[in-house]
Amino acid sequence: MSLNSFGHLFRVTTWGESHGLALGATLDGCPPGVPIDAAAIQHWLDQRKPGQNKYTTQRREADEVEILSGVFEGKSTGTPIQLMIRNTDQRSKDYGDIVEKFRPGHADITYWQKYGIRDYRGGGRSSARETAARVAAGGVARAALAILAPDMRITGYMVQMGPHGIDRNRFDWDQIAQNPFWVPDAQAAGDWADYLDGLRKSGDSVGAVIEVTARGVPAGLGAPVYGKLDTDLAAAMMSINAVKGVEIGDGMATAALTGSANADEISMGPDGPVYHSNHAGGILGGISTGQDVVVRFAVKPTSSILTPRRTITKSGEDTEIVTKGRHDPCVGIRAVPVGEAMMACILLDHILLHRGQIGTNQGRIG
Amino acid sequence: MSLNSFGHLFRVTTWGESHGLALGATLDGCPPGVPIDAAAIQHWLDQRKPGQNKYTTQRREADEVEILSGVFEGKSTGTPIQLMIRNTDQRSKDYGDIVEKFRPGHADITYWQKYGIRDYRGGGRSSARETAARVAAGGVARAALAILAPDMRITGYMVQMGPHGIDRNRFDWDQIAQNPFWVPDAQAAGDWADYLDGLRKSGDSVGAVIEVTARGVPAGLGAPVYGKLDTDLAAAMMSINAVKGVEIGDGMATAALTGSANADEISMGPDGPVYHSNHAGGILGGISTGQDVVVRFAVKPTSSILTPRRTITKSGEDTEIVTKGRHDPCVGIRAVPVGEAMMACILLDHILLHRGQIGTNQGRIG
Amino acid sequence: MSLNSFGHLFRVTTWGESHGLALGATLDGCPPGVPIDAAAIQHWLDQRKPGQNKYTTQRREADEVEILSGVFEGKSTGTPIQLMIRNTDQRSKDYGDIVEKFRPGHADITYWQKYGIRDYRGGGRSSARETAARVAAGGVARAALAILAPDMRITGYMVQMGPHGIDRNRFDWDQIAQNPFWVPDAQAAGDWADYLDGLRKSGDSVGAVIEVTARGVPAGLGAPVYGKLDTDLAAAMMSINAVKGVEIGDGMATAALTGSANADEISMGPDGPVYHSNHAGGILGGISTGQDVVVRFAVKPTSSILTPRRTITKSGEDTEIVTKGRHDPCVGIRAVPVGEAMMACILLDHILLHRGQIGTNQGRIG
Amino acid sequence: MSLNSFGHLFRVTTWGESHGLALGATLDGCPPGVPIDAAAIQHWLDQRKPGQNKYTTQRREADEVEILSGVFEGKSTGTPIQLMIRNTDQRSKDYGDIVEKFRPGHADITYWQKYGIRDYRGGGRSSARETAARVAAGGVARAALAILAPDMRITGYMVQMGPHGIDRNRFDWDQIAQNPFWVPDAQAAGDWADYLDGLRKSGDSVGAVIEVTARGVPAGLGAPVYGKLDTDLAAAMMSINAVKGVEIGDGMATAALTGSANADEISMGPDGPVYHSNHAGGILGGISTGQDVVVRFAVKPTSSILTPRRTITKSGEDTEIVTKGRHDPCVGIRAVPVGEAMMACILLDHILLHRGQIGTNQGRIG
């Protein structure tokens, strides 16, 4: 019931603060015999790493992962895997205004109100830095999925930045890794660069919508009624810093649909059911259909900005705050690998859960 | 790790199928000494009950709750409370096409693919009827909240039906109980009645957006980073049948905001912090701020419709299906009390969790 | 984290009080397709049922189980199974002294001190009657085990009653069902009958030691270091009313052994490892070896006795108590089927857990 | 549902292998504001540390704990606390026979059979070295208990080594820390030294019984029927390496008692109930009475011995094994601080659980 954990059989617990000695993830329940390689995990961490380009915080972190346990001669042993990332760039000891003042829109005030003590350095536990541990965990999950579901491909990308959305007609999977925003639309990538540049210079920030698609997901993952695949995905994405909304398939837009329009019609194909559409985002009744699983989430704009905002101090005085320092103008960019990692962890967990309860017997059609 | 359970300290497990003998909820962890009254629970169940007006399914269920355990001389004892609702109106034994055919957009096919066995009667476990158990559980949660947080008020209402949204300028709390749609906008209630009437007659259905607001929530509920209040609320709402999207505060719209616009500025009031806006929906960093907690979720249109849709049979043949019977043209209507119940359960759980870890010591401002 | 639940993937939650309307078990995670038959469950319940002979309480309960959910056309569907047993014989409304006085050695006083409210009727939730729900759950677990581990046989029996132990040289599996004490030693059965008769007439009670052996358990069940098979078995048995000690294999006696005596030597047999002894009780490092799994537990004597004992009242006055009514002179007798049921539930759970994490790949020897 | 975790609200997950880079404990749910000091944790670790005297393994480990997260300016923040202990003395790379052969009585064979991969170095995850993480966790638990239950004192001691028990008439709390065996009986300490010396020289090992007593435990901790305090204590102790039996109060001996002898009679004292005896070990119905909580557990003899034992190899050949190296003749000695640590963790957890469900309202007597 650890509050910093998620997953049923593949259980991930993250720990650590932004400016503490280290942060990491304790993974329990990984199947044995999975090749686990620090370099492969590092590959995913490098995608999330700050300072990669001018659109992300200029904090420089090596973000080097150490595997402290659970791996022997390059393979998982089935016992807990401890992944640790040392914090190396804690820079100045001057934390400025945030020691005494609460940033509006930030967890500063709620942590204080809850706990009566707050590691204010870089946001402590509420920092987006915590997501590095999730990305590392996702690297292990992907390694296990490569064995258990070798056809599965998990891809995250940005579909909206501030008011600007992508044009789905220009959707191109190959574009995603070609631009700093993980956008599957080359033209949007160019336009957004100018937009974000302006925003960055003005010291402001902006939100984004990230979509994560898992292709090759077997039918039958998930369970009624609180172990639903979409329930766990919604929780997984909502637990990421700054996320304020989660959608499966057509999401909020399904409210405007009629039943006849929303029904994803089915035909029989050579390898099983074939769907004529995917409004459902690959999940019906909480269980995967075999279609692409599609999740979207909105990331609010960073609250650490140069624009002065009214706030109060710990001692209850009205004041203003301006947050200097190295912050992301669009923290949504770095949320893309995080969303992928969460998808990987949840899908691995549900594959293990399904195997546990059901084994290999499933209902056959035809 | 029961997949049909939610909650940490106040733990709700629902059980039962649409056309089985009974359904119910097993509640564990309720504080002792809470006055529990079948009539009070019944009050909430009656709001969700089918057949209340022409806009909900004409299935007639008494939906009478029996308290089988955990209550002694009218008060909770602290041991498990078993709430049972007998299924009384199972009507004909003729389940028609759904025995062999899968309804597009329905869990029929995924349950079959997962389990290889399926209680097809009325949707079995995947029926919206399961939510009666949640509403009953919510009734107990409200009774406990009446003691632990007497100023808390939880109110659900519809803000969108199909393409039609409410006008927030006409928002009126008192209107909500005055119309069959739980709409806080008298004019919308009238307009929507006509719209839904037409839809019902055409045999089609439509989606909706429900908003649930909790007023009087104390600051400090929730916890990093997977026990966040918004994580649990997102999971709670997404676990309701037919829900495809969940938003906290401004939700998906935060993507379009700048950081300066999104920051809910703070001043010091006589009783603590006062916020100038509530884009955050009352939650920062996963922890309540003391503002209204605002959650929204989209309910997709019912898949049981009279419009013929292409589908396949269990034996893998292409066919069409038309679902006759008693179905809701807008199942979102009956989701309103369900959303309220889930909010009540989650908030009670987090009040207990907070008390467990922190006790009564919290951070003070000023 | 429900406190009235146990099991990881096969999750059992019991509910109900001795003299409430009903009691039962909510089972989540049962594999689908398992033949579930009320009569088969009843078979196990009848073994535990009071009033079977003069050595058990003369309370008459039909103990008829109703399956309210999770079973369709005679097979489990994979969704929660609700088992309910109505309380029929609540007899007089006169609960006598126990309304105001606490029985020494009984949970009366601790329930009061914890909750400030207490269902005193028949011990409420602390009554041994709760174990009927466990036995019913065990019936379902056995049905699943019959498919997943068809060679497994789980047998409980009494090895000590009061000061009298069995003679292991006379151990005879076939004797167990031939006497009212479930003793595998015909001579002991006769001797103990006289002993217990005397005790019963004197109004006193006595303790017992129960042993449960599972034969045909596959190697590899369990996990480090808190999901150990022996950890879960110890908790399962200790959670039974009146149990004060649990042993695996040689148990407490291993303290007196040397390492050379305690080592169960191994040879290679035609079907895998063969052990020369079983001090370990079939579990090494928390994981099953493939030998018989052997668990023993001590049941203390019933505290409801005719001998007057000093105690206090709710209002804090010194007094004496004599508990009249229908009580077991050796409640350990009825604990035998309960111990079997707990063993069945735990082994099923670990089979599912093992399958979830490991699948069918295991280490081979030779 | 992590298998390497225990606790409900105060949740401990241990990780790491005997000869890996490090091992540790991830603690979630610690109350905020608790003074946490590496030196204080080190105090407890030093008691368990090998190589303290000639009766424990001569492996030299610094066992220095690093606090990586969850503590800010010397106090817990309420977020996860990561405790890491580097493995420093892994000595030779020659693991000898244990690479290919299974030690009888050791987890070597079951880990292999379960996982198909095994970190054979020093026993990997199954090594008693894992208990260092528990002792570190216990240090944090004690710090929290010092605030929440300042009168509580937790003391472990040995009451039996091999065939030799203590004389309860000579029981002296002050003796416990005066001898290498943690024996509360000065004469036994002397006698046992000779006995163990002989055993050590012969290359054999022996078992032990450890008792842990918690004084000053408030009444009301625990819960029916699977969250019982004794259930959690039994699981906690059984999860320690080499433990084969657990007793509460009179334990297995209660089987031989009559109800009249076993009943702990009660009188009213100036501060509440006073018990005339403590057969129950401070727990009735799973809930603490306010008396001393007394738990006992048996530790089997180490299986790594110099006496040759018959065994098999991974490839299935019959052979013999002699385990050279640095092993404990009586590993029970080092289990004393481990048992204390487990008691501390469980009691803290139940204090938090009680506060969560019940708050400060409890039943009053008188």
What distance in Å separates residue C348's CA from the closest CA in chain D? Answer: 16
Mutation for D interface: C97, C112, C113, most D CBs within 10 A: C113
From chain C residues 194-223, the ones with a CB under 8 A of any chain B CB are none
Whether the predicted interface score ipTM is above 0.90 = yes
Average pLDDT over residues C14-22: 96
Closest C-alpha among A112, A105, A127, A114 to residue A19: A127
D78/B358 touch (CB, cutoff 8 Å), yes or no: yes
Measured between CB atoms, does C260 come within 8 Å of chain D? yes
- What's the average model confidence in pLDDT over A283-304? 96
Neighbours of chain C (3+ CB pairs under 8 A): A, B, D
Calpha distance A287→C79 (Å, rounded) = 13
Chains that touch D (3 or more CB pairs under 8 A): A, B, C
Which phi and psi (to 5°) does residue B212 adopt? -125, 125
CA C272 distance to own-chain centroid: 32
Q: Which chain D residue has its CA at the smallest distance from A11's CA?
A: D2
Residue-level pLDDT, tens digit, chain B, 366 residues: 689 999 999 999 999 999 999 999 999 999 999 999 999 999 999 988 776 777 776 666 788 999 999 999 999 999 999 999 999 866 556 677 889 999 999 999 999 999 999 999 988 999 999 999 999 999 999 999 999 999 999 999 999 999 999 999 999 999 999 999 999 999 999 999 999 999 988 889 999 999 999 999 999 999 999 999 999 999 999 999 999 999 999 999 999 999 999 999 999 999 999 999 999 999 999 999 999 999 999 999 988 788 899 999 999 999 999 987 667 889 999 999 999 999 999 999 999 999 999 998 788 998
Nearest to A11 among D2, D8, D117 (CB): D2
pTM of the model: 0.97
Q: How far is CA B287 from CA A108, A145, A323, D52, D61, in A?
A: 10, 33, 22, 47, 42
- In which band, very low, low, confident or very high, does the pLDDT at A94 lie, cut at 50, 70 and 90? low
Integer Cα distance of C144 and C147 in angstroms: 5
> Would you give the DSSP letter of residue D254?
G
- Tell me the three state secondary structure of residue C33: coil
- Which of B4, B265, B316 is nearest residue A309 as measured by Cβ atoms? B265
pLDDT in tens, A10-61: 999 999 999 999 999 999 999 999 999 999 999 999 988 776 777 776 666 7
The nearest alpha carbon in chain B to C69 belongs to: B16
* Shortest distance, CA B168 to any CA of chain A (angstroms): 18
Q: Which residues, at least 6 apart from D198, have a Cβ–Cβ distance to it below 8 Å?
A: none
On the question of pLDDT at C268 being above 70, the answer is: yes
Q: Rounded distance, CA D306 to CA D202, Å?
A: 8
Spatial CA neighbour of B271 closest among B362, B355, B365: B365
pLDDT of residue B57: 67
| Burial C83-115, CB ≥16 within 10 A → b, else e | bbbbbeeeeeeeeebbeebbbbbbbbbbbbbbb
Q: State the alpha helices, DSSP H only, in D169-257.
A: 186-202, 229-238
Task: Indicate yes or no: CB of D17 within 8 angstroms of CB of A118.
Answer: no
User: CB distance from A352 to chain C under 8 Å?
Assistant: yes
Report DSSP letters for D308-366, one per residue: -EEEEBTTS-EEEE---SS--S-THHHHHHHHHHHHHHHHHHHHHHHHHHHTT------
CB-based contact D119 A21, cutoff 8 Å: no
Contacts of B226 in chain A (CB under 8 A): 3-6, 235, 239
Q: Which of C1, C31, C78 sits opposite A1 (nearest CB)?
A: C1
| Banded model confidence at residue C40, pLDDT cuts 50, 70, 90 | very high
* Bridge partners for D297 per DSSP: D210, D246
Tell me the nearest-neighbour CA distance from A113 into chain D, angstroms. Answer: 12
Amino acid (one-letter) located at D80: P
Give contacts of A 98-117 with D, CB under 8 A. Answer: 114-117
Per-residue pLDDT at D246 exceeds 90: yes
| Least confidently predicted of A261-270, B51-60, D136-145, D209-218 | B51-60
The percentage of chain C sitting over the pLDDT mark of 70, rounded to a whole number, equals: 96
Is residue B160 a contact partner of residue B167, using CB atoms and an 8 Å limit? no
Which of D28, D70, D115 has its CB closest to that of A2? D28
Question: Which residues of chain A make contact with B97, given a CB cutoff of 8 A?
Answer: none
Taking contacts as CB-CB distances below 8 angstroms, the residues of chain A near B122 are: none
Cα distance between residue C3 and residue B349, in whole Å: 14
Q: From the list B224, B352, B358, which residue is nearest D357 (CB)?
A: B352
D332-358 helix and C108-115 helix, angle to the nearest 10 degrees: 60
Q: Give yes or no for D141 touching B (CB within 8 A).
A: no
Dist. CA A248–CA A281, nearest whole Å: 5
Calculate the average pLDDT of chain C: 93
Taking every pair of C-alpha atoms in chain A, what is the biggest distance, in angstroms?
Answer: 71
Give the residue from A359, A362, A351, A356 showing the smallest Cα distance to A222: A351
Q: B11, B353, B355: which to substitute to probe chain D, counting the most D Cβ within 10 Å?
A: B355
Give CA separation, D305 vs A187, C243, C256, D204, in Å: 72, 35, 16, 5
Among candidate residues D67, A348, B2, the one with its CA nearest the CA of residue C30: B2
Model pLDDT, residue B175: 96
Cβ(A108)–Cβ(B264) under 8 Å? no
Count of helices and strands (H, E) across chain B:
7, 18
Residue type, D166: I
The whole-number pLDDT of residue D59 equals: 64
Which of B220, B296, B318 has its CB closest to that of A268? B318
The answer to whether B314 and B100 have CB atoms below 8 angstroms apart is yes
- The count of CB pairs under 8 A between chains C and D is 423
Q: How confident is the model at residue A2 (pLDDT cuts 50, 70, 90)?
A: confident
Distance from C-alpha of D364 to C-alpha of C112, rounded to nearest angstrom: 8
CA neighbor of B242 nearest in space, from D330, C112, A283 = A283
Tell me which chain B residue has its CA closest to the CA of residue A312.
B267
Chain A to chain B Cβ contacts (< 8 Å) = 424
- Smallest CA–CA distance, residue A359 to chain C, in Å, is 7
Using a CB–CB cutoff of 8 Å, tell me whether B145 touches chain D: no
* Ranges assigned E (strand) in chain D: 5-6, 11-16, 22-28, 65-69, 71-72, 75-76, 81-86, 153-161, 164-165, 208-215, 243-248, 266-269, 272-275, 283-284, 287-288, 293-299, 309-312, 318-321
What would the pLDDT profile of D274-309 be if each residue is shown by its tens digit?
999 999 999 999 999 999 999 999 999 988 788 899
Instruction: Give the span between the Cα atoms of A89 and A66, in whole angstroms.
Output: 17
Which residues on chain A are in Cβ contact (under 8 Å) with B234?
Answer: 234-235, 237-238, 246
Cross-strand bridge partners of residue D273: D268
**Smallest Cβ distance to D356: which of B1, B79, B353?**
B353
* C-beta separation of B339 from D13 below 8 A: no
Out of D105, D163, D332, the one facing C284 most closely (by C-beta) is: D105
| Non-local CB neighbours of D94 within 8 Å, separated by 6+ positions | none
Structure tokens of A109? Answer: 């005030």
CA distance D235 to D231: 6
The residues facing C22 across adjacent strands are: C86
DSSP output for B264-316? --EEEETTEEEES--TTTTEETTEE-SS-EEEEEEEPPPS--SS-EEEEBTTS
Mode of pairing for the β-strands spanning B293-299 and B208-215: antiparallel
Instruction: Please name the helix (run of DSSP H) or strand (run of DSSP E) that holds residue B355, with its range, or none.
Output: helix B332-358
Instruction: Evaluate the CA torsion angle B186, B187, B192, B195 in order and state its sign.
Output: positive
D336 touches chain C (CB under 8 A): no
Inter-chain contact A15–D115, Cβ cutoff 8 Å? Answer: no
Q: Which of A229, A255, A261, A237 is nearest to A348 (CA)?
A: A229
Chain B interface test: which of D352, D354, D362 (most B C-beta within 10 Å): D352
Cis peptide before B99 (omega within 30 of 0): no
Q: Does residue A323 carry a pLDDT above 90?
A: no
Q: What is the mean pLDDT of chain A?
A: 93
Neighbouring CB atoms inside 10 A of A164's CB total 18
Contact (Cβ atoms closer than 8 angstroms) between residue C34 and residue C348: no
The token pair at C279 is 């001090």
Asked if D108 contacts D95 with a C-beta cutoff of 8 angstroms, the reply is no
Could you give phi then psi for residue B309, rounded to 5 degrees? -130, 145
Cis peptide bond N-terminal to A159, omega within 30: no
Q: Is C315 on the interface with A (CB under 8 A)?
A: no
- Best B11, B77, B358, B361 member to test D by mutation, with max D CBs in 10 Å, is B358
With an 8 Å Cβ cutoff, are A225 and B125 in contact? yes
- H or E element that contains A110: helix A108-115
- Give the tens place of pLDDT for each residue, C225-259: 999 999 999 999 999 999 999 999 999 999 999 99
Report residue C128 as tokens: 């041994």
The residue in chain A having the minimum alpha-carbon distance to the alpha carbon of residue D7 is A1
Q: Specify the pLDDT at position B336.
A: 97
Q: Is the pLDDT of residue D97 over 90?
A: no
Confidence of residue A324 (pLDDT cuts 50, 70, 90): confident
Which residues 13-52 of B have a C-beta within 8 angstroms of C? 13-17, 20-24, 26, 28-29, 32-33
Q: Does C260 contact A at CB distance below 8 Å?
A: no
Give the separation between CA A235 and CA A342, rounded to whole angstroms.
Answer: 10
Distance CA A190, CA A200 (A): 16
